[in-house]
Structure 1
Amino acid sequence: MKANSINPNNVIDNSRFHSYHFWLIFWMFLLIMFDGYDVVIYGASVPSLIKEWGMSDVTAGAIGSYTVIGTAIGAIMFGMAADKLGRKNIILLTTLLFSLFTFISGFANNPVTFTIFRVIAGIGLGGVMPNVIALTTEFAPKRIRSAVVSFVFCGYSVGAIVAALTSRSLLPTAGWEPVYWLAGVPLLFLPFMMRNIPESIGILVDKSKEEDVKKILYKIDSSLNLKAVIHFEKQVKVPGSPIIRLFEEKRALSTLMFWISCFCAFVLIYSMNTWLPRLMMQSGYDLSSSLTFTAVMQLGAIAGTLIFGRLVDKWGFKKVLVPLFFCGAIALSLIGFTKSTSLAFIYISVIGASSVGVQNMSNAFVSQYYSFNMRSTALGSTMAFGRIGGIVAPTFVGVLLTLNLMPQYNFAAIATAAILGGFAMLFVQEKHGNYHKERSHVKNLKVAK
């Protein structure tokens, strides 16, 4: 490499954490927070919607499933589009979609109109998450990358907590509509995000926008000489479909296992987010107490993500994620038998860490397992397949509820997803991924020193 040349990835990887990273993480966190808010408000408002529109549990579950179909479409469509159109543009577009249509869902006066608005909002939500992960992964310093990505996805749980507490306050007095209107807040932030969210360095390099790249790199490292002639190394373009490349170079088994584990995590997430209040009401709690359980589950997700996210950087992903999946299965199997509120809170927090928390860290795993030029595609396809679990879960649990089974049987049925997810993650082959190569390189450098 020439003396005056620079590798943008090295600048980012070795950078110190400062205000530029802080504001990027702030906006990414905010977007994921409203993602979590959007998912939980439906579960919180289901009892009110069933009462107002006279729906059955199966119909209410089906509406939740249709919404997730939209997120699956959005995940794969916008995940692939971002590699060509730019991650910033897609993030802005999808934020507009999910925020606007969640907002107007609060004006729906029948289940059909409500479902249409929710599906369109779901398409936007599906496109936000993979691109937020990819952009956060690209700009985070390497030494804290896993922790930063995991932290950003704590925003999901924060949003879910806000949704639970807001619903608890508004539903008894103002009805379900204002809960959806609050989801329009991100529309006010779009001009600020347009100004402050950077475009992907890799995409700018591929488009030969070197001056834009220099400006971003200078904000990250002000010691760079912008007057020098800087040589940017472009990514080598590989022919063929990005999806097919996920299965090449001995990655096929791991790709399938990522998809299955994501499917299982979304079964857990959407089963609990859609039906936890109803399941806990079936177990003898009132609506207000049941919404408190939703908040506790998200607190468990945040604690699990932050604590185990740090351990991931030391031990590796599999040593953390596999046991967490199995712990979730145990907690789900036990919660239906306990009559102690304190124990129920503990089990619920473990379930939060083993569902939302696991998915947060799995997102970081996928984003680092694949190289830059297929990262958005990998995340989009994994989450699109995973959201099939989110499609199945609301209707599946809705059917379970119509069978009038004992509460412990309903929870045990959901627990099977955690067991399958743990085994799927166990079969991911770290040695064939970009993540393993980077960790091996770092270890070799330490040995050389």
Structure 2
Amino acid sequence: MPWRWKVQGRIFLIGGLGFMFDAWDVTLNGILIPLLSKHWSLQPADAAWIGTANLIGMAVGAFAWGTIADTIGRKKAFTATLLIFSIFTVLGAFAPDIVWFCLFRFMAGFGLGGCIPVDYALVGEFTPRKQRGKVLTAMDGWWPIGAALCGFISAGLVAVFGDWRLTMLIMVLPALLVFWVRRSVPESPLFLIRAGRRAEAAAVIDGLVEATGAEPRAYSLPEPQAAPRLSPGSAWAQLRRIWQFNWKITTAAWALFFSILLVYYLSLTWMPRILIGAGFEEYKAFVTTASMAAVGLLGVVVAALLVERVGRKWILAITGPLSALTLVIVAFVVDVPSAAVFWLLVFGFVVQVAIPVLYAYVSELYPTELRGSGFGWASTFSRIGAGFGPLVFASFFWPEFGLAQSFAMAGGLVLLSVLWMAFFAPETKQRELS
């Protein structure tokens, strides 16, 4: 089928908005750490739990919702993740203390953790093969938009009203997206076929043919395979299938997710606090972090232009280690404001070339029956690193080894991951989804 903005493009926009709110919420952790440290008189190790609780919730949600999406369908799972995230983020604004706040952040993360694996499965399965690499890469353009909006809007709210709660109440907006999802997004035909719902799959395909103006032609649907039933053990069963499918590929996916996103989440979580400690005013620290995220949109554009020409593996092999190196440079020049801002912008650009290619790559490594859960488990592993990484970073590595060496250690993990990928994972450029 041809690509049409009113058909596949609408699904791209809806999935992208869900992804945008994911970025908004993760970036919000870095904004809240200095604000709540002052509000509740928190030490750095205690304040780190603000981000850790949220990201660990995302880790649990990523594997749970990946399996749920492979079981009940992409559309229902996407709707539920948005509602849970929105409700518990708003509840966090009314938390009486740090314990309740972290509990609400965990539950919000649980809902939001499902957005990325469900998003990419849904968008990827509706996108024509010729455009799939560019579209899945362009999906990550929503991330710098969400992260930048969070930084700029939060800085404005805090500067004008001086109340951190307003930065969370605004997250009622994702709940409104649910109504658009229910009206405008069909269920994935690949999922329907696999679930034995052949008549529904045929109706969706015929509707897509008509809506896109594609030339009608005869087609056949494959026989359904045994779909996993949703149960407490279904997530673990999917995990076993992921490793049985190909342990070398799964190792590559998990290692890349863990290391590259650890570097990025360290910067998002602690950069406002690092800049404030280096002498930046609170407002300027938030705006600088938001600018770091905003320039990433250019990185996504570059990634979308290069991904089908250069291939997924080469881009990751270059930009992954390079992003970690620029963060080390930031640590050395953080006391020089102009140099720190320049290298943070470089970091924001380079890392956002790597991340969208990473998401597109991992979503293409697995067959349909494992795509949601394969991506979800890789995301889970990265969220665990992103959750406990900033906590360990603030409690041990940063005070023990210093900022630059701590960032360099994270960069070493990135280098090991891309070396494993180079030898043991395939290139997926222009490969047909099974």
Answering whether residue 346 of structure 2 is matched by residue 350 of structure 1, we say: yes
Change in CA separation of 1:39 and 1:120 when aligned onto 2, cut-off 3 Å: same
1:253 aligns with 2:248: yes
Greater Cα shift, 217-226 or 135-144: 217-226
Aligned counterpart, 1:318: 313
After alignment, is 292-301 or 205-214 more displaced?
A: 205-214
Question: Could you list the per-position Cα deviations for residues 250-292 of structure 1 after superposition, in whole angstroms to 9, with x for gaps in the alignment?
Answer: x212211221221112322221111111111122211122112
Are residue 366 (structure 1) and residue 362 (structure 2) matched? yes
Q: Which residue of 1 aligns with 2:416?
A: 423
Contact 1:75 1:381 in 2 (8 A): yes
RMSD (Å), alpha carbons: 2.7
Map 1:398-413; keep pairs closer than 5 Å: 398-399=394-395, 403=399, 409-413=402-406
Match for residue 273 of structure 2 among 275, 278, 282: 278
In the aligned structure 1, how far is the partner of 2:417 from the partner of 2:397? Answer: 28
Q: Deviations over 1:315-352 (max 9, x none)?
A: 11111111111211221121133355443333212322
1:247 Cα shift? 2.8
Counterparts in 2 of 1:309 and 1:416: CA distance versus 1, 3 Å: farther
The answer to which of 311-320 and 292-301 deviates more is: 292-301
Q: Does 1:207 align with 2:202?
A: no
1:42 aligns with 2:37: no
Q: Which moved more, 1:208-217 or 1:183-192?
A: 208-217
Are 1:290 and 2:290 counterparts?
no
Instruction: Give the AA of the match of 1:275.
Output: W
Change (3 A) 1:346 1:285: same
Q: Which moved more, 1:207-216 or 1:309-318?
A: 207-216
Q: Distance in 2 between matches of 1:401 and 1:291?
A: 24
Structure 1 residues 298 and 232 mapped into 2: Cα distance closer, same or farther (>3 Å)? Answer: same
Sequence identity of aligned pairs in percent? Answer: 25
Amino acid at match of 1:59: D
Unaligned segments of structure 2, at least 5 residues:
229-233
Distance in structure 2 (CA, Å) of the matches to 1:33 and 1:108? 25
Are residue 60 (structure 1) and residue 47 (structure 2) matched?
A: yes
Q: SS of the counterpart of 2:421?
A: coil
How far apart are residue 430 of structure 1 and its match?
A: 7.8
Provide TM-score, normalisation by structure 1: 0.87
Q: How many residues align?
A: 423
2:239: which partner in 1? Answer: 243
1:75 aligns to 2:62 (yes or no): yes
TM superposition shift of 1:35:
0.7
| Aligned residue runs from structure 1 range 217-228, under 5 A | 217-222=205-210
Larger radius of gyration: 1
Asked if structure 1 preserves the Cα contact closer than 8 Å seen for 2:312 and 2:428, the reply is no
SS at match of 2:390: helix
1:204 and 1:212 in contact (8 A); partners too: yes
How far apart, in 2, do the equivalents of 1:28 and 1:173 lie? 32
For the pair 1:190 / 2:178, whether they are aligned, the reply is yes
Letter in 2 for 1:296: S
Which deviates the most, 356-365 or 240-249? 240-249
Report the TM-score when normalising by structure 2.
Answer: 0.90
Among 170, 173, 177, the residue aligned to 2:165: 177
1:237 positional shift: 4.5
Would you say the 8 A contact 1:147–1:313 is kept in 2? yes
Distance 2:121 2:43 in 1: 39
Q: Distance in 1 between matches of 2:331 and 2:120?
A: 35
How far did 1:296 drift?
2.0
* CA deviation profile, 1:343-366 (whole Å, cap 9, x unmatched): 333321232244454232211101
Q: Deviations over 1:396-434 (max 9, x none)?
A: 2322598397xxx31431232233223312322688658
Worse overlay, 176-185 or 420-429: 420-429
Q: What do residues 16-50 of structure 1 show as CA deviations (whole Å, max 9, x unaligned)?
A: 33310111111111101111111111211221211
Equivalent position amino acid for 2:413 in 1: L
**Matches of 1:420 and 1:404, distance apart in 2:** 19
User: 2:376 is matched with which residue: 374, 380, 388?
Assistant: 380
Q: CA separation of 1:45/1:374 partners in 2, compared to 1, >3 Å: closer, same or farther?
A: same
Aligned with 2:332: secondary structure?
Answer: coil
Taking the TM superposition and a 5 Å limit, the aligned residue runs for 1:130-141 are 130-141=117-128
**Offset of 1:158 from its aligned partner?**
0.8
Assess, with a 3 A threshold, how the Cα gap between structure 1 residues 231 and 104 changes in structure 2: closer, same or farther. Answer: same
Q: 1:60 to 1:440 in 2, by over 3 A?
A: closer
Q: Could you tell me how far apart the structure 2 residues matched to 1:292 and 1:262 are?
A: 27
Which position in structure 1 is the counterpart of 2:301? 306
1:113 to 1:231, Cα distance in 2 relative to 1, 3 A:
same
- Matches of 1:47 and 1:33 in 2, distance apart? 23
Question: Do the aligned partners of 1:318 and 1:426 also contact (CA within 8 Å) in 2?
Answer: no
Counterpart-to-counterpart distance in 1, 2:39 and 2:3: 54
